[in-house]
Amino acid sequence: MSAMIEVVGIGDDGWSGLSEASRHLVERADTVIGSPRQLDLLPSMGQQERRPLPSPLRDNLQSLVGESGRHTVVLASGDPFLSGIGTTLIKAVGREAVRVHPALSSEALARARMGWSAESVDVVTLVGRSTDRFLPFVTPGARLVLLCSDGDSPAEVARLAVEAGAGTAQLTAWWHLGGQNEGSHSTTCAAWGDERTPDLVVVCLEVGVLDAEPQALGPAPGRADDAFEHDGLITKRDVRATALARLRPWPGQVLWDLGAGSGAVGIEWCLAAPRARTVAIERDPDRADRVTQNAARFGVSSRVDVHVTSTSAAVRDDDLPRPDAVFLGGGLDRDVLDAAIAALRPGGRLVAHAVTRESEALLHEVHRTHGGSLTRLAVEHLEPLGRFNGWKPARSVVQWCLTRPPRSKESA
C-alpha cells in the first residue's frame, strides 16, 4: 500500500514562514518534491531526496505516489487548494492518500495589503487559463483578486479591462508577497501600458465608474443583438431571453447549443451561472470562428467548447459531455430531437425553436409524443412610420420546451 502524501503549503518567505508542524513533516520526509524555486527555499537535510515536479504534471502523477514505508512531501504554493496541486493530487490518487497542510495564500496576503475583506472580493485564477475569464466580474464597484500566470498577465489584464470600458479601474500588482523581494506597482488600467512584473504576481483590480457599459454586465440574458458579431443568424434578444429562462442555467452544468450560429445562447448560458459550460455545435467554419471570437469577447472562452460538425453527428458523439440542457435554434430534424432528448441527464431541459411551417409541424409532432409545452412568441417593436410611430412585428417563433423527469420518476 502506498504511503500518505503530505502536501505542504509554502510561501515566498520559505522555511521561516512554515509552522512547526509543517517543518517537522519536511524534516522527516524521505523525498521532497516541488518546483526548483520552492526546493531552493529549504535548508539542506542530509541524504533527503529532492525532486522537481514532473512536467507535464497530469501525465506523471504516479511518480508522486509515495512508496510503502517512505515519507513523501509535495510542496505547494500557499494554499494547495487555491488553484494548486492539492485538488489535482486528490483527483488522481484519492482523498484518503493525500493530507494537505495549507500556508497563507497569495490571495489572503493581497487582500491584507489592500485592506479588503474576503466577502467584498471575487477571486479569479488565470493560471493556465485564458486571461479574459475575469471580464464577467468587471462591474461598477467590483474588487477582484486575480491569480496570474506570469509577469505578462498584468499588462494583458489592463488591456482587456480598457476594452471592456474599465480604463479608469485601479490596477495594483503585488509580487513575491510575504518574501524579501516583495514589491508592488499601482496605476489605472489605461496607464499601465506594456509593463512587465516578476512572474510570481497577483493583480488587485478595483473598478469604479465604468467608461462605458460592458456588454457582459450582469448575469441576466437578453443582451442586444449587436453585442455579438453575427451574420444575421442569431437568436434575437427577446426570444433569447425567453429561451434562457426555460433552459435555467445552473452552476457547473453543460449546455449543448446545436446549430450555434453566433453562439449568443451558449455564451449567455455561461454568463448566467458560475462554472456553467457550453458545447457549441456549428458546421459552418466561419460561424464557428465567430462563436470563438464572441466567447473571448465576453470572457468565457475557456467555458465554450466549439465543434465544427453537424448536429446529427454531434448528438451521437459519445465523447461529448452529457448535457444538462439542450438548445436547438433552427434546422430541426426528428432524429436529432430524439437523440438530444435521449442524451439529456435526468432533470435536463430542452428548448427548440421553429420559424417555418415545416419546423412548426415537427414541434407539434414531438409535443404529441413527448409532452412538454408549446408557445408562440410574437414580438413587436416601435419604429418610425412617416411622421408618426408604429409597431413593427418580428417573425413569430414557436418554442417547444421539455424537461426530462428526474431518474426516480423515470424508473417509477
Superfamily covering domain 5-104? Tetrapyrrole methylase, N-terminal domain (3.40.1010.10)
With 0-12 CB in 10 A as exposed, 13-18 as middle and 19+ as buried, what is 3?
Answer: middle
Domain with CATH 3.40.50.150 in the chain: 225-410
State the pLDDT at residue 1: 44
pLDDT at 412: 47
Residue at grid coordinates 417593436:
381
**Does residue 56 have a cis peptide bond before it, meaning omega lies within 30 degrees of 0?**
yes
Second-level CATH architecture of 107-206? 2-Layer Sandwich (3.30)
Res 146: pLDDT: 97
Instruction: Give the Cβ contact number of residue 304 at 10 Å.
Output: 24
What is the C-alpha separation between 412 and 409, in angstroms, rounded? 5
DSSP 255-293: EEEET-TT-HHHHHHHHHSTT-EEEEE-S-HHHHHHHHH
In the chain, list all ranges with CATH 3.40.1010.10.
Answer: 5-104
Residue of 226, 1, 371 lying closest to 234 (CA atoms): 226
Q: What pLDDT sits at residue 71?
A: 87
**Three cell numbers written together for 141:** 464597484
- This model's pTM is above 0.75: yes
> Do 14 and 42 form a contact (C-beta atoms < 8 A)?
yes
318 Cβ contact list (under 8 Å, min separation 6): none
The CATH classification of domain 225-410, taken from the options 3.30.70.260, 3.30.70.1140, 3.30.70.141, 3.40.50.150: 3.40.50.150
The predicted pLDDT at position 68 comes to 52
Low-confidence ranges of the chain (pLDDT < 50): 1, 412
